Structure 1
Amino acid sequence: MKKFVLSMVTLATLAFADGNITYKIDGKDYEGYYVTASKNAPLVYMVHDWDGITDYEIKRASMLKDLGYSVFAVDLYGKGIRPTELADKKAMTKSLYDNREEMRKRLNAGFEEAKKLGLNTTNSLGMGYCFGGSSILEMARSGADLKAFVPFHGNLATPAGEDYKNTKGKIVVFHGS
């Protein structure tokens, strides 16, 4: 009995540990980041800007956790791929802008990873900064089942042949000029 209780405590601790998580998409490693406010805390599904997941996303995740949310920051580039040169950032984002199907696959795979972690994906919204904001709008157009999609300074252009008819949640755009 003592071993069982200890095992359950260990599992509970692991389920709500914060940090990096490696997961696979088509055999390639991706590294997301998550924080958990509480077992049933609403989830903020965050997409990084064109730098990949950096201290900026980690800081925002911590701030959201302090407000009572859990956060899963999805990795759209791959484990260890964090471009620093302008040309590399442009190349990484262009590769996904030019292949929306791949972008959606990576967005959905990250969301599935959040589910596996036990995060509250039934009460969730998606948000992203710049490239991440554009990606969140792509997720909205895909028909993802989130309550809201919140881009910050994302590209607002709708690609040819796409629309928002499958969008299930509300869209709240923050875009200064």
Structure 2
Amino acid sequence: MKFNIIILLFSTIVGYSQIKSVSYLDGKDKLEGFFIKAEKANPKNIGVIVLPAWMGIDDHSKESAEALSKLGYHAFVADIYGSINNPKNTEEAAKLSGYFKNNPEEYQKRIQLAIDQLVKQGANVNEIAVIGYCFGGTGAIEAARGNLNVKGVVSFHGGLGKDKMRITTPIAAKVLVLHGADDPYVSQKEISAFQDEMRTAKADWQMNYYANAVHAFTHKNLNTDNSKGAAYNEKADKRSWEAMKSFLLELFK
């Protein structure tokens, strides 16, 4: 019995280790992302960038990349902060994520560098999508705003706002926003401004609301107490993933 348990644990670890570390640079800053090759046939070499939440690369983002590979996509988890800058607590995460939110061109640059690495790993430069969670969801929208060469972006419970001084330009990438209907961190004013921005940008956009869901509803490590402002919601998690799958199928046909 003990022998069987050891074998089972070993195979789980081996399966997870299919995600490989990839080191790359932004000037002198060392970045370390994670790549996993599509497990199914992928004749177009479609690739998907995964942007982590504000605590940086975590199990959640790696698990998403692994799930994408099972669907037949090459996946790359982007390192936005740098390999020596992962926040140790929420205060550090707020400071680091705040920097990139306030300097969107730097955020877009880090996303582009991740795309470059995904292409180096075999993805087609013209068949790329970006998905992101929370802070990463904001990044997915920034990839569209920056007109990076991506076909579409998906924001899971991401921030939607941008500085009023920024000029709205046409958005070519298709946009899908998956939003908790009771998210206390994204105001109705921010939502309305975002939707107006999408209209002005002539974007092909969609926004799905999930009932009884607050911020970070895809994160299984959280409890289910909505009063905390951030909580896991199994139904919203599953529904939003299915919405993303349909979006990607339409995107890449």
TM-score normalised by L of structure 1? 0.84
SS in 2 for 1:145: coil
Listed one character per residue, the Cα deviations across residues 63-121 of structure 1 (whole Å, up to 9, x for unaligned) are 11111111011110001432231101101101111212211211111111222222223
Partner of 1:32: 33
Q: Which residue of 1 aligns with 2:134?
A: 130
Q: TM-score, normalised by structure 2?
A: 0.60
After superposition, what is the alpha-carbon deviation per residue over 1:25-68, rounded to whole angstroms, capped at 9, x for unaligned?
A: 01110001111115644211111110111111111111111111
The answer to which structure has the higher strand fraction is 1
Matched, 1:43 2:33: no
Give the equivalent residue in structure 2 for 1:65: 69
2:119 paired with 1:115: yes
In the alignment, structure 1 segments of 5+ residues that lack a partner are: 1-16
Distance 1:31 1:133 in 2: 20
Higher relative contact order (CA 8 A, sep 6+): 1
Please say if residues 34 and 73 of structure 1, whose CA atoms lie closer than 8 Å, have aligned partners that are also in contact.
Answer: yes
| Cα shift at 1:162 | 3.0
Look at both structures and tell me which one has the larger radius of gyration over its CA atoms: 2
Whether the aligned pair in 1 keeps the contact of 2:36 and 2:65 (CA below 8 Å) is yes
Going from structure 1 to structure 2, the CA distance change for 1:151 and 1:140 (only over 3 Å counts) comes to: same
Identity of aligned residues (%): 29
Task: Report how many residues are paired.
Answer: 161
Counterparts of 2:59 and 2:150, CA distance in 1:
25
**Partner Cα distance (1:118, 1:60) in 2:** 19
Structure 1 distance, partners of 2:95, 2:43, is 38
CA RMSD of aligned residues (A): 1.7
